[in-house]
């Protein structure tokens, strides 16, 4: 899949901006603050229905304007599709081929974008939230069934937490416990299935990037005791054991919303013991695996965006990554240091010139 054209109105720093893209992608160059990340953000908006930088659409509207509107032409499985999105201070509308989508999450069915962010190092170094967010997004792009499960689970979690603030009956709580554990078990099973596909590829890509000899492994970390394959029974038993604790804290203290993923290098925690270079290489390898699994499942190649994440790697590692991907994906690299990437042969987009050209039309 690829994007062929983009039109922005009142989006971030873009008042009126129109640009066409080459099928292979582009090297997006320009000084810091010119809007390189904002351009990537506008493209990815059509894949996720939201920004990767903020949860508030209001922040995407150009200063002093009342709304933003973005349009794009995509080629997905060799067919052309017209996407448009707009938001003012009260509502958001997204359309595909002039038809409004029923739910924002429906976008996951169609367009696939993998965004390599400088913040991806937090997947390794940061709190469990970063790893859960990564795995939830990656599986959602791999299996739409997972999005439906997440939506159901979050609704049950919210209602179960609200229950703790009331004078509930044990019978009522048991009903919510069973629903909570049932949907939670399905989520965990899908995570485990995905990790079975993910882990061997992660080790391969990490070695390809770094020429490392270390053994990389991934382990699912439960928020409740689970020494057997009976996830539902073990979760239910744990909920009974912590019943008073949950009642006191008025929130659910176990379940997939609190689980984690442990990543190890030679049996040592990558979070605690790996170098910054190792963390960065693992994070990039994780995005590459996400990309590969989407391609295998969807029989189409996602659009790839590198927001200057390769700057921390040496030239050899950077060239190795691009060589892996060149000719297989539409690739966008945003960077102020374009001399590091010119050897990749991507068409160059000088944003300062493009913005000036559009403003003169």
Question: Which structural domain, as residue segments, surrounds residue 62?
Answer: 1-112+300-361
Dihedral of CA atoms 152, 156, 158, 162 in degrees, nearest 10, equals 160
Q: Are 310 and 209 in contact (CB under 8 A)?
A: no
Per the prediction, the chain carries an average pLDDT of: 92
Question: What digits encode the pLDDT tens for the residues 109-132?
Answer: 999 999 999 899 999 999 999 999
Dihedral class, residue 236 (left if φ above 0, else alpha if ψ from -120 to 50, else beta): alpha
**Is the separation of the CB atoms in 183 and 153 below 8 Å?**
yes
Last residue within a domain, chosen from 264, 293, 322: 293
The H or E element spanning position 19 is strand 14-20
Handedness of CA 299, 115, 24, 353 (dihedral sign): positive
179 burial (CB, 10 Å; 0-12 / 13-18 / 19+) is middle
pLDDT at 1 over 80: yes
pLDDT band at 360 (very low <50, low <70, confident <90, very high): low
Identify whether residues 180 and 271 lie together within a single domain: yes
The predicted-structure confidence for 276-321, as pLDDT tens digits, reads as follows 888 988 999 999 999 999 999 888 899 999 998 776 677 777 777 8
Q: Looking at residue 202, what is its pLDDT?
A: 95
Q: How many angstroms separate the CA atoms of 68 and 242, rounded?
A: 48
Tokens representing 123 are 């997947």
Residues 106 and 208 in one domain: no
Number of compact structural domains in the chain: 2
Domain termination site, one of 242, 267, 293: 293
Q: Tell me, what's the pLDDT at 252?
A: 97
Task: Note the pLDDT tens digit of each residue in 214-268.
Answer: 889 999 999 999 988 899 999 999 999 999 999 999 999 999 999 999 999 999 9
Prediction pTM value = 0.92
pLDDT at 110: 92
DSSP 8-state secondary structure symbol assigned to residue 80: E
Q: What are the CA-CA distances from residue 84 to residues 45, 93, 194 (Å)?
A: 10, 8, 32
Are residues 128 and 107 located together in one domain of the fold?
no
Answer yes or no: do 77 and 141 share one domain: no
Domain limit, last residue, from 293, 315, 348: 293
105 and 131 housed in the same domain = no
pLDDT band at 332 (very low <50, low <70, confident <90, very high): very high
């Amino acid at each position: 899949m690829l994007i062929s054209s983009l039109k922005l109105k009142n989006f971030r720093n873009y008042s009126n901006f129109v640009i066409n893209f080459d099928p292979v992608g582009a090297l997006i160059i320009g000084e810091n603050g010119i809007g390189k990340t904002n351009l990537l953000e506008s493209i990815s908006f059509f894949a996720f229905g939201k920004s990767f930088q903020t949860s508030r659409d209001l922040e995407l509207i150009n200063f002093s304007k009342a709304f933003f509107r973005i349009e794009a032409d995509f080629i997905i499985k060799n067919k052309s599709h017209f996407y448009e999105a707009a938001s003012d201070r009260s509502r958001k509308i997204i359309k595909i081929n002039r038809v409004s989508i029923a739910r924002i999450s429906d976008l996951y069915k169609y367009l696939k974008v993998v965004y390599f962010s400088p913040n991806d190092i937090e997947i390794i170094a940061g709190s469990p939230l970063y790893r859960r967010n990564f795995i939830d997004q990656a599986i959602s792009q791999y299996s739409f069934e997972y999005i439906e499960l997440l939506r159901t689970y979050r609704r049950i979690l919210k209602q179960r937490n609200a229950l703790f603030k009331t004078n509930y009956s044990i019978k009522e709580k048991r009903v919510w416990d069973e629903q909570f554990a049932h949907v939670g078990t399905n989520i965990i099973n899908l995570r485990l299935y995905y990790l079975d596909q993910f882990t061997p590829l992660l080790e391969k890509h990490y070695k390809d990037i770094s020429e490392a000899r270390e053994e990389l492994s991934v382990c699912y970390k439960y928020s409740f005791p689970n020494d057997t394959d009976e996830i539902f029974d073990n979760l239910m038993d744990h909920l009974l054991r912590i019943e008073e604790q949950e009642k006191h804290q008025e929130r659910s203290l176990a379940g997939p919303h609190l689980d984690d993923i442990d990543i190890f290098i030679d049996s040592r925690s990558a979070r605690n013991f790996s170098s910054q270079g190792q963390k960065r290489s693992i994070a990039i390898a994780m995005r590459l695996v996400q990309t590969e699994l989407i391609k295998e499942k969807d029989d189409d190649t996602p659009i790839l965006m590198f927001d200057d994440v390769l700057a921390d790697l040496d030239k050899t590692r950077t060239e190795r990554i691009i060589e892996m991907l060149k000719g297989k994906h539409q690739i966008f690299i945003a960077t102020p240091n374009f001399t590091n990437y010119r050897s990749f042969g991507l068409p160059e987009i000088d944003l300062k010139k493009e913005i000036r050209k559009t403003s003169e039309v």
